[in-house]
Amino acid sequence: MSEVDAGDDATHLALRRIRTSDLSRLASVGLRTRKLRAGLSALGIAIGVAAIVAVLGLSASSESGLLSEINQLGTNLLTVTNGQSLFGTTAELPLNAPGMIGRIGPVSDVQFTGTISNVNVFRSPVIPSIDTNALSVDATSLHLYSAVDSSVARGKFLNAATATEPTCVLGAAAAQRLGIDRVFSGERVWLGNMWFYVVGILKAAPLTPEIDSEVLVGVPAAEKYLGFDGHPSEIYVKVVPTSQTAIVDSVLAATANPENPNEVNVSQPSAALVAQADTQAALNGLFLGLGAVALLVGAVGVANIMVISVLERRSEIGLRRALGATKGNIRLQFLFEAILLSVIGGAVGILLGAASTAVYASSKHWGIVIPPLAWGGGIGASVVIGAVAGLWPALRAARMSPTEALWSV
Amino acid sequence: MSLGDTTVVPIDGATSSTLSDRRLVLEMEQVTRVFPSDPPVEALRGVSFQVTQGELLGIVGPSGSGKTTLLHLMGTLDRPTTGTVRVTGFDVATLSDRELSGLRATKIGFVFQQFFLAEHQSVLDNVADGLLYAGVALAQRREEARDALAAVGIVERATARPTQLSGGQRQRVAIARALVGSPAILLADEPTGNLDSTNSQAILDLFEELHQSVGTTIVVITHEREIARRLPRQIEMLDGRIVSDTTVGGLDGSRR
């Protein structure tokens, strides 16, 4: 029989909880005492997180770069092209389509080109006729480059005088394929069985890449020398203010061809670039997958280190149990240690990923964008990885009987 | 709280009028411990004894006599197969693992042969860790640790690392860590096992001093008869049984 009354003390014995400040100090014991090992195992997590952050950051930065380029080019350009008729043949835009479009209120500029069929351009008459270089010959209105936000790289654009003569302006790609990189007097190309003199070369037009591979001739000259019928095939419409673009878009087909609006294609070139930006993002899945594999390997590394650590620190576990640590205290200590290890790796990874994004993006003159998903996800993922990797070792440490732990050394 | 409080076991006083002045700190009643193996190992075969508050006793026996198993049971690190173990009145069998941890945190201090000091921490923090699981704030833990270091006589090394100390000093630190919660009982497992004879004597002197001046209840487990002989009460074990339980009249009588 007990001669001492235990009273109601027993419940009070179990109520002691370890303080959060003590827990965080305990969690760092293993890392502080084995710095190199902790650093190496955190490195695995760091590499994985860095890869993911860099991929997401670079993709977001490149998208922002592309979007800012699009913004700079403007989203207020609409193109009208001839579609297909009911019978599958190429429909023609009415001759007066540009004029009618120009009467829509917010339209500030209308320019057009008309493809001249069956006419090819060559460097000289001795080039075989099948080597067309995939260039097309188009008649153009006189201020095309201003509507499509391009400009003349060399020479001049056509004017009212040269438009009536056998002269031409080369698109950027056309000039390259013809092997002409400068304009000097007498420079000429063989176009529709006669010489046409080159007066200018255009810069690349990012929104309207089709112009790059065109050789442009004035409408009067085209009609006179090349049998051009005067029907526009592409009409470039500039809308001011930009906010009215959608409204103009909706009436454009009916305005261009009131009889058969369904034979007209209306498109917004900037929309294609936006879609291109989205496609780029889709390609990142592969790299994200690689980052995830690195994270998985890192997690295995953390789990491995924690298992070894629990084995090595049996006497510490035994001592702590003797000092009054509950199983829960031991479990928390090792779980927090694994999480801390992983989060340190994750934080370093985010810094590395952000730094490499910053370096690459600024070298490309993109805006530096680290999406919240990237760094938030990086930290979140490392907490989860630490918890998952540390769970089993922590449970094992807590399960260890204090006597076995103390007297196994 | 100071070390002097050790004499006051915080237990309900309702029945204390019927008790003698000294309370029982530890009671073992017909305790057995059988380890399941093939064949089963009977480490303890019916051990009964009591330790009163303020006692200084040695448990001596050759290796394999069941001393260490007995220490585990006294320290609530293990439970008996049959029989009853009571520590400051609490029946170990009725307590959950958490409650036993609480009991160890507040009522029992351990001193080990291997010291088990954390090398990355100062001496002061090592001692303060004795109260880590008792729910005491860090500042107060350090304050009490300083008192405990003063009690074992090495407060001047408080900021040193354990690796900078001699073996004897390290064991003093470990004793301070065990004392810091003013436990009802201090269990020392071969406390001089890693020390030379001079340091061993010094540690025993320290135990006697704590016993006399502060009244700490101390159980020393050892295989060395020489050491046990210095203590006022000796329990001798062999093959899991107590073969003798001798109390020398006074502390002085134990000295030769």
Question: Which of A1, A3, A19, A333 has the highest number of chain B CBs within 10 A, making it the mutation to test binding with B?
Answer: A3
The candidate with the shortest Cα–Cα distance to A159, out of A103, A72, A108, A221, is: A221
Q: Tell me the pLDDT tens digit for each residue of A306-326.
A: 999 999 899 999 999 999 999
Q: Has residue B188 got a pLDDT over 80?
A: yes
DSSP state of A15: T
The amino acid that residue B103 corresponds to is: L
pLDDT, one tens digit per residue, over A116-164 is 988 999 999 999 988 888 899 999 999 888 787 778 888 889 999 999 9
- 3-class secondary structure for chain B? CCHHHHHCCCCCCCCHHHCCCCCEEEEEEEEEEEECCCCCEEEEEEEEEEEECCCEEEEECCCCCCHHHHHHHHCCCCCCCEEEEEECCEEHHHCCHHHHHHHHHHHEEEECCCCCCCCCCCHHHHHHHHHHHHCCCHHHHHHHHHHHHHHHCCHHHCCCCHHHCCHHHHHHHHHHHHHCCCCCEEEEECCCCCCCHHHHHHHHHHHHHHHHHHCCCEEEEECCHHHHHCCCEEEEEECCEEEEEEECCCHHHHCC
The verdict on a CB contact (< 8 Å) between B78 and A18 is no
Band of pLDDT at residue B15, cut at 50, 70 and 90: very low
**B104:A5 CB<8 A:** no
Is the pLDDT at A391 greater than 70, yes or no?
yes
Query: How much is the pLDDT for A10?
Result: 58
Q: In what order do the strands lie in the sheet with B185-189?
A: B108-111, B185-189, B218-222, B56-60, B233-238, B241-247
Q: How far is A18 from chain B (nearest CA, A)?
A: 6
Residues of A in contact with B104 (CB under 8 A): 321-324
Q: Which among B89, B134, B135 is the nearest to A6, CB-wise? A: B89
Helix, strand or coil for residue A109?
Answer: strand
Residue-wise DSSP of A201-228: EEPP-TT-GGGGGEEEEEHHHHHHHH--
How confident is the model over B31-47, as a mean pLDDT? 92
User: Chain A: nearest CA to B256, how far in angstroms?
Assistant: 34
Residues in A lying within 8 Å of B, measured between beta carbons:
2-19, 21-22, 29, 32-33, 315-316, 318-329, 401-403, 406-407, 409
Contact B95 A324 (CB under 8 A): no
Q: Is the pLDDT of residue A304 over 50?
A: yes
Chain centroid, CA A181 distance in Å: 32
Residues constituting chain A? 409
Q: Are strands A188-191 and A107-115 parallel, antiparallel or unpaired?
A: unpaired
| A18 → closest Cβ in B12, B19, B133 | B133
Q: What is the pLDDT of residue A242?
A: 80
Distance from CA of B167 to the nearest CA of A (A): 18
Instruction: Judge whether residue A295 has pLDDT over 50.
Output: yes
Mean pLDDT lowest among A252-261, B64-73, B121-130, B133-142: A252-261
ipTM of this complex: 0.87
8 Å CB contact of A4 and B88: yes
Question: Which stretches of A259-313 are DSSP H helices?
Answer: 269-312
Residue-averaged pLDDT of chain A: 86
The C-alpha atoms of residue B175 and residue A289 are separated, in whole angstroms, by 55
Task: Write the Ramachandran bin of A231: left for phi over 0, alpha for psi from -120 to 50, otherwise beta.
Answer: beta
Model pTM?
0.72
Q: What integer pLDDT is reported at residue B26 of this predicted model?
A: 94
Length of chain B, in residues: 256
Interchain proximity B90–A6, CB inside 8 Å: yes
Q: Do B110 and A13 touch (CB under 8 A)?
A: no
Q: Is residue B16 over pLDDT 70?
A: no
A79: β partners: A236, A267
Q: Other C-beta atoms within 10 Å of B170: how many?
A: 23
Interface probe, candidates B132, B136, B138, chain A, greatest A C-beta count within 10 A: B132
CA pair distance A230, A224, nearest whole angstrom:
11
Q: Residue B53 in contact with residue B231, Cβ under 8 Å?
A: no
pLDDT at residue A198 above 50?
A: yes
Span A100-123, pLDDT tens digits = 888 888 888 899 999 998 899 999
Q: Considering Cα of A396, then A403, then B162, then B134, what sign does the dihedral take? A: positive
- Give pLDDT, residue B185: 94
The shortest CB-CB distance from A323 to any of B96, B99, B105 is to: B105
Identify the helix (H) or strand (E) that includes residue A78.
strand A77-82
User: Hey, is A136 helix, strand or coil?
Assistant: strand
Chain-chain contact of A32 with B120 (C-beta, under 8 angstroms): yes
Confidence of residue B181 (pLDDT cuts 50, 70, 90): confident
Angle CA B9–B11–B13, to nearest 5: 115
According to DSSP, the β-strands at B108-111 and B185-189 are: parallel
Asked if B12 and A7 come within 8 Å (Cβ–Cβ), the reply is yes
Lowest mean pLDDT among A42-56, A207-221, A269-283, B99-113: A269-283
Cα B48 to its chain centre, rounded Å, is 18
Please report the pLDDT score of residue A89 as a whole number: 79
Residue of A9, A19, A24, A337 to mutate when probing chain B, most B C-beta within 10 A = A9
Is A5 close to B133, i.e. CB distance below 8 A?
Answer: no
Residue-wise pLDDT tens digits, B72-120? 999 999 999 999 999 999 999 999 998 999 999 999 999 998 889 998 8
| A1: confidence class by pLDDT, cuts 50, 70, 90 | very low
Per the rule left: phi > 0, alpha: psi between -120 and 50, beta: everything else, B60 is beta
pLDDT at position A86 is 75
Chain B contact set for A322 (CB, 8 A): 75, 77, 104, 110
pLDDT score for A16: 67
How confident is residue B11, by pLDDT bands cut at 50, 70 and 90?
A: very low
A284: closest CA of chain B, how far (Å): 45
Q: Which residue has the higher pLDDT, A277 or A91?
A: A91
Q: What b-and-e string marks burial along B182-204, b requiring 16 or more CB atoms within 10 Å of the CB? A: bbbbbbbbbbbbbbeeebbbbbb
> DSSP 3-state assignment of A186?
coil
What per-residue confidence (pLDDT) applies to B206? 92
Is the model's pLDDT at B35 over the cut of 80? Answer: yes
**Each residue of A215-254: pLDDT tens digit?**
999 999 999 999 898 889 899 998 888 888 888 888 888 8
* Cα A54 from Cα A278, distance rounded (Å): 17
Q: What is the pLDDT of residue B10?
A: 41
Angle of the B138-152 helix axis to the B167-179 helix axis, nearest 10: 130
Q: Are B144 and B5 in contact (CB under 8 A)?
A: no
Closest-CA distance, B213 to chain A, in angstroms, reads 24
Give yes or no for residue B216 having a pLDDT over 50. yes
Give CA–CA dist B134/B96, Å, rounded: 17
Q: What token pair was written down for A93?
A: 């835009």
- Tens of pLDDT, residues B167-179: 899 999 999 999 9
Of A16, A318, A322, the CB nearest to B135: A16
Which of these, A149, A159, A139, A148, lies nearest to A200 by C-alpha position?
A: A159
Question: Could A323 and B106 be called an inter-chain contact, meaning their C-beta atoms sit closer than 8 Å?
Answer: no
Residue A260 and residue A91 in contact, taking contact as beta carbons nearer than 8 Å? yes
Looking at beta carbons, which residues of chain A come within 8 Å of B68? 407
What angle separates helix A35-73 from helix A327-363, to the nearest 10 degrees? 40
Chain A partners of B177 at a C-beta cutoff of 8 Å?
323
Are B236 and B242 spatial neighbours (Cβ–Cβ below 8 Å)? yes
pLDDT at A105: 84
Q: Is the dihedral of CA B247, B249, B254, B256 positive or negative?
A: negative
- Partners of residue B244 on adjacent β-strands: B236
Contacts of A318 in chain B (CB under 8 A): 116
Nearest to B102 among A13, A22, A321 (CB): A13
How far, in whole angstroms, is CA A145 from its chain's centroid?
Answer: 28
pLDDT at A285 over 80: no
Question: How many beta-carbon pairs below 8 A join chains A and B?
Answer: 141
> Closest approach of chain A CAs to the CA of B31, in angstroms?
14
Q: Specify burial of residue B72 (Cβ count, 10 A radius: 0-12, 13-18, 19+).
A: buried
Give chain A's count of helices (H) and strands (E): 14, 11
Q: Which of A236, A234, A229, A227 is nearest to A73 (CA)?
A: A236
Q: Is A321–B104 a contact, with Cβ atoms under 8 angstroms apart?
A: yes
**Inter-chain contact B97–A21, Cβ cutoff 8 Å?**
no
For residue B254, is pLDDT > 70?
no
Average pLDDT over residues B134-157: 92
Alpha-carbon distance values, B48 to A334, B68, B113, B216 (Å): 39, 16, 25, 22
**Residues on chain A touching B21 (C-beta within 8 angstroms):** none
Sheet strands (E) in A286-394: none
A68-72, B149-153, B180-184: range with lowest mean pLDDT: A68-72
Confidence band, pLDDT 50/70/90 cuts, at residue A347? very high
CB contact under 8 A, B133 and A329: yes
A323, A326, A403: best to mutate for the B interface, most B CBs within 10 A = A323
**What's the pLDDT at A76?**
84
**Tens-digit pLDDT profile for residues B220-249:** 999 999 888 889 999 999 999 999 999 985
Q: How confident is the model at residue A193 (pLDDT cuts 50, 70, 90)?
A: confident
Q: Are the beta carbons of B97 and A9 separated by less than 8 Å? A: no
Q: Which residues in chain B have their CB less than 8 angstroms from residue A33's CB?
A: 119-120
pLDDT score recorded for residue A282: 64
pLDDT of residue A14: 63
Amino acid letter, A116:
I
Higher-confidence residue: A90 or A182?
A182
